[in-house]
Structures are given as C-alpha cells and as structure tokens.
Structure 1
Amino acid sequence: MSEVAEMLNRRGGVATFGDLRTVMSGRAVRTALAGGDIRRVARGVYALPTSPVALTAARSHGGVVSHVSAAQHWGFGVIDRPALPHVTLRPGRVRRLTGLPCTLHWAEVPAIDDVTTPLRTVLDCIRTLPLAEALAVADSALRAGAIDHDELLQAAARIRGPHRRRILHVAGLADLRAESVLESALRALVIEACLEGFVPQVRVQDAEFSARIDLAHPGLRLGLEADGFEHHGSRQALIRDCRRQVGLTVRGWRILRFSWEDIRYDGQWVVTSIERASGLAPLTNSILRAA
C-alpha cells in the first residue's frame, strides 16, 4: 500500500486533496492516483477503491451519510437496501456535480465521523419510511442498545413540522423485543390493520416445555410467526421446530406462520388470515392514515 493509501486508510478511506497535501506532496498523490491505489470521487476528493460506498458518496459531496444508509452503517436492520446512498448536506450547500450518485437531503444534523448519530438516523427513517421499514430500523436500534426508548420519545417530542404526530406515534410503537426485521414488518401489518392485543415475543412455558412466539395474542392463544428463508437451516432445526409446533398445539395455541413473501408482498392476505383466525374486528387508525 502506498503512503497516500495508508493516509487515506487512517482517515476513514476518503480525504480531500488539501488534507493530503498537509502531510505529503502533490506528486505522491498523483502517483498513487495513476497507479490505482486511490481514486478521484469528486473534484479535489480522493478515496480508496475499497472505501464504503455510502461514506465515499457523502464525502464526495461534503455531506454526511444519513437515513437508511446510516442505519446500515450502524448495523440496524433494514428491510430494503437503498438503490443509492442517502446523504444529508447542510442547508444552502450546493451538491457537487462531480460527486458520486446519491439521494440528497438538506438539514442540520448531528453526526459522528460523517454519519448521522444513531438517534437522528432512527428519527430520519421514521419520518421518511413506510411503517414496516421504519419499525424495522427503530426496533433494531433499541434491541442493539444504540438508543433507549425514553431517549427516542423525548427526541420525537421535540420535533416540529410536517408529520409530527406520525413520528410521535411510530416512536411509541418501537419495541426492542422484536428479534428480526421480518417480525417488525409483520407487527406493522397488524398495527395498520388495527388488530389489538398482539404482543412481541410471548413466552409459553411450563415444567416440560418452553417456547417464544414472535407475535401473540395471549387472550386468544393465537400466535403469529415470521419465517425467513433460513428458518430451518438444518435437519435438526426442522425436528426442533416440529416438536415446538406440537408442543404449542397441545397447550391450546394456534400458530399462523407467514413467509417473507407473504409479509412483504401479500400483506392483505396476511391480515385477512389473522382476522379470520382471531375474529377481531378492525377499527380505523386515524393517526397512521392521516399522516
């Protein structure tokens, strides 16, 4: 690795020509560029070929990684990966025409190493994403301990402007008990259908048996499971799952199991199935639908 590449690596993979010139010659930078050790991502901005795409795009425009791209950076669960990185610029800043392709936003945002803070990231996702995707990020951030629920609620309460009621409502719905983005998406369908009484990660246990259900209505003994493609994984996992299913059934539980495709692409069928199994009559959710 050249001296210039090593310097870029210490600076997170991206730096301006001015930053590099404070510690090395312009000739060294040009040599590293010609040799393919670094690449130009905007006028006067250089990056390692292996630098993270979102961070490189943000620095190529003089902004910060934000929204779903920031959620990915912090390791939060996301349902759909963005086609282009999300980048936030300070108000009044003009995008660089030579910068890398990205989805741009303008706002004053708190950031750490050119990425919006975990709390701001969650709020941005809640503000801009559909409920299922917003909950996936918020639930994951709570589960990871990156933020706590009181902190999220207090920050949401300080927000002013469009969609404030929806942001407050969705922040209140976030729940660290959800164990996967698919569970969050399933819970979003239940919430949007106004089917009340379902609780994440309900434990069914006695002296001989113990199991947790992704989303359950204890009063009806009705459980909902979000099954990803990797759910079984092995023969032993399949055997354990069969025994678990039998154990729940003999204890009076009915379990409805939904795949990724069901939850993401046929939500109405999922909701109708739950309504028929539960007998619950949906109400009108004025807060979510008015947002």
Structure 2
Amino acid sequence: MAEVVEFLQRRDGAASYGQLRSVVSARSIRGALADGRIRRIAKGVYALPPLPDPLAAARAQGGVVSHLSAALLHGFAILDRPDRPHITIPRIRHRHLSPIPCELHWADDVPSDGWCTTKLRTVLDCARTLPFDAGLTVADSALRLGAVDRSQLLVAAAGLSGPGCRAARRVAAAADGRAESPLESVLRAILIEAGIDGFEPQVVVRDESFSGRIDLGHPGLRIALEADGFEFHGTRSALTRDCRRHVALTIRGWRLLRFSWEDVMFDRGWVVSAVRSASAAHLADNAPTAANRLAG
C-alpha cells in the first residue's frame, strides 16, 4: 500500500486505475482504498485524500506553517507529502486544542513571511529534521528555483547550533541547483552517502555532431547515470530518440547506467554496487593504456 501512495505522490496526487496497475497489485489498490490512504474521485481515477489546510492550522495554533508544509507552499519539490500540517510555535506557547491535527515544532525565533516560514528557514528546517535524501531534495529545488542563494544557505547553515545542525550543514554543502528532479537528488544522495565522489548533475556531452545532457555524470570515468521516472518514454518517438542518444553516448566512450524509480527508492544497495562495478570496469579497461603511457 505504501507503493500506491508513493506512486500517486510522484504523479501530483492522482492517477488512473491502469496507471496504478502498471506498478502495483489490485490487492494493494483495494487495501489502500479500504484504509483511506487513497480515494476514488471518478470512475477509474484515484487520488490521495486532501491535506488539512496548513494556514488554518497555523492560525489555530498561533504559529506559522513550517518544514515540509512550508516547502509545499513555497513550491519546492519534496519526496513525501506530510500526513498533517507542520506548524512551528514559540517555545513559551502551549499547544492549543484544534480540530485540525498537526505536527508541532517549537522555536525561540521563527523568521516568517506572513503565516509561513521564510524560504531559507524552510530549507534549513527540512535539512535539520529530514533524512539526507529528503532534505537534499528540498534544498536542490530551492536553489533550482532561485528561491535561495547557495552562499546564503551555506552561511546560514554554518551559523546553526543545536539538534540537526550537522545534518543541515551537510545538506547545504551538497545542495546543487542543477539537479532537475527529486529522483536525481535522491540518486546523488545515495552516492554521497556511499562515499562515491566525482558525479555532477546535468553534465553536458558535446562535440561537432552531438549534444546531450546527463542526469549525473562523472567526466573522469565517463560514467553516465540516468534516473528514469514512471513514464520516461511516453511515446514511441521518445523511445527511439532515447535509444539513439544511448548509442551516441556509448560510441563516445560513456558507460550509461539507467535506474528506475523503484531502483533508486527501494534498492539502493544495488544502485551503489552497480556504480562501483562500472567504475572498476572503467579502471580495468584503461589500465593497459595507463601502463603504456608510463612505459613510454
């Protein structure tokens, strides 16, 4: 049932029965319907239930919308939709009884834009409290949108203290606005956590007869990593175009590894193993060349 919810989250909250069945079982769909995690909004169309209004929750608690809820309001990409609004209130204030269930946070000083934490504070809050890949997804998105300046983020993270400050500094150091999707951010986070260096977002491969971009590329090893979503090809012409791109990269010496959403989200050990194997294969293939250069 978790896969049903995650699929809908990746499709902005709604999908047809056929789209759901392409990745999950009918039993999972029935189970998610039965426990209220999804709902039928039209014949053959399913969606996530509406979230409680975070602004109403903030007003009821006398606080501001924060963390993932604020990220959504600011238009940042996120990995998982929060089940309830995240609200930050002053430490001196007690929880109010409210008909809106919410996740409360307390803080002494909360910079805000009206009823929502500022864009910078939102990124830092997410970086402090979320797993590395989820925090990096928010930070990458904020940089990509131009909502936060990277130098500003680094300075602000360096000045933090208390719980989560190291996590926030780690996210700030790794954040890169070139990442074009949450799946790319998660794939990069996997490599960083595995200690695999040298991969950059959106590497351009270009010569007189070809130009293309790679989701994550290692120019030194000529290894290209692609993070493919649910509907990567879409049409026959898109599939043909992608096959030719794959061939073009291969004849130019690039190893192309393509990972599905399921690979990245559910089999990270295999992803790491595949990248390490490709790196070892490149070094083995080029060892004679390097030895010849040394001999010469």
TM-score scaled by length of structure 1? 0.76
Which aligned pairs between 1:93-172 and structure 2 lie closer than 5 A? Answer: 93-107=93-107, 108-172=109-173
Cα deviations by residue, 1:132-183 (Å, 9 ceiling, x for unpaired):
1011000000000001101101111111123333322221110001000000
Q: Distance in 2 between matches of 1:57 and 1:231?
A: 37
8 A contact 1:139–1:176 mirrored in 2: yes
Root-mean-square deviation (Å): 1.6
C-alpha contact (below 8 Å) 1:61/1:99 kept by paired residues: no
- Output the CA distance in 2 between the equivalents of 1:146 and 1:223: 29
| Structure 1 spans left out of the alignment, 5+ residues | 1-49, 281-291
**Cα shift at 1:51:** 10
Whether the 8 Å contact between 1:87 and 1:103 is mirrored in structure 2 is: yes
Q: Which residue of 2 aligns with 1:64?
A: 64
Map of 1:225 onto structure 2: 226
Partner of 1:87: 87
Residue 52 of structure 1 and its aligned partner are, at CA, apart by 6.8
Give the TM-score normalised by structure 2.
Answer: 0.75
Distance in structure 1 (CA, Å) of the matches to 2:175 and 2:243:
31
Deviates further, 182-191 or 98-107: 98-107
AA of the residue aligned to 1:260:
W
Q: What amino acid is the match of 1:247?
A: A
Structure 2: how far apart are the matches of 1:202 and 1:51? 37
CA distance in 2, matches of 1:57, 1:163: 25
- Counterpart Cα distance in 1 of 2:56 and 2:259: 38
3-state SS of paired residue (1:141): helix
Contact map agreement 1:201 1:214 (CA 8 A) in 2: yes
Which residue does 1:199 correspond to in 2?
A: 200
Give the partner amino acid of 1:96. Answer: H
The 8 Å contact of residues 52 and 85 in structure 2, kept in 1 or not, is answered as: no
* Change over 3 Å in CA distance of 1:62–1:204 after alignment to 2: same
Question: Using the alignment, how far apart are the partners of 1:279 and 1:88 within structure 2?
Answer: 48
CA positional deviation for 1:94:
1.2
Which residue identity does 1:162 align to in structure 2? P
Equivalent residues in 2 for 1:30-41, closer than 5 Å:
none
Question: Which blocks of at least 5 consecutive residues in structure 2 are unaligned?
Answer: 1-49, 282-296
Alignment of 1:142-291 (within 5 A): 142-279=143-280
Q: Tell me the amino acid that sits aligned with residue 186 of structure 1.
A: L
Task: State the alpha-carbon separation in 2 of the partners of residues 135 and 166 from structure 1.
Answer: 10
When Rg is computed on C-alpha atoms for both structures, the one with the higher figure is 1
User: Which structure ranks higher in relative contact order (CA pairs < 8 Å, sequence separation ≥ 6)?
Assistant: 1
Secondary structure at the aligned position of 1:72 is classed as: helix
Report the 3-state secondary structure (helix = DSSP H, G, I; strand = E; otherwise coil) of the residue aligned with 2:232.
coil
| Sequence identity (%) | 59
Q: Conserved in 2, the CA contact under 8 Å of 1:61 and 1:100? A: no
Aligned length: 231
Whole-angstrom distance in 1 between the partners of 2:158 and 2:136: 17
Partner residue, 2:290: none
Distance 1:198 1:177 in 2: 12
Report the Cα distance in structure 1 between the residues aligned to 2:136 and 2:166, rounded to whole angstroms. 16
Contact 1:126 1:170 in 2 (8 A): yes
Could you say if the C-alpha distance between residues 51 and 69 of structure 1 is closer, same or farther in structure 2, counting changes exceeding 3 Å?
closer
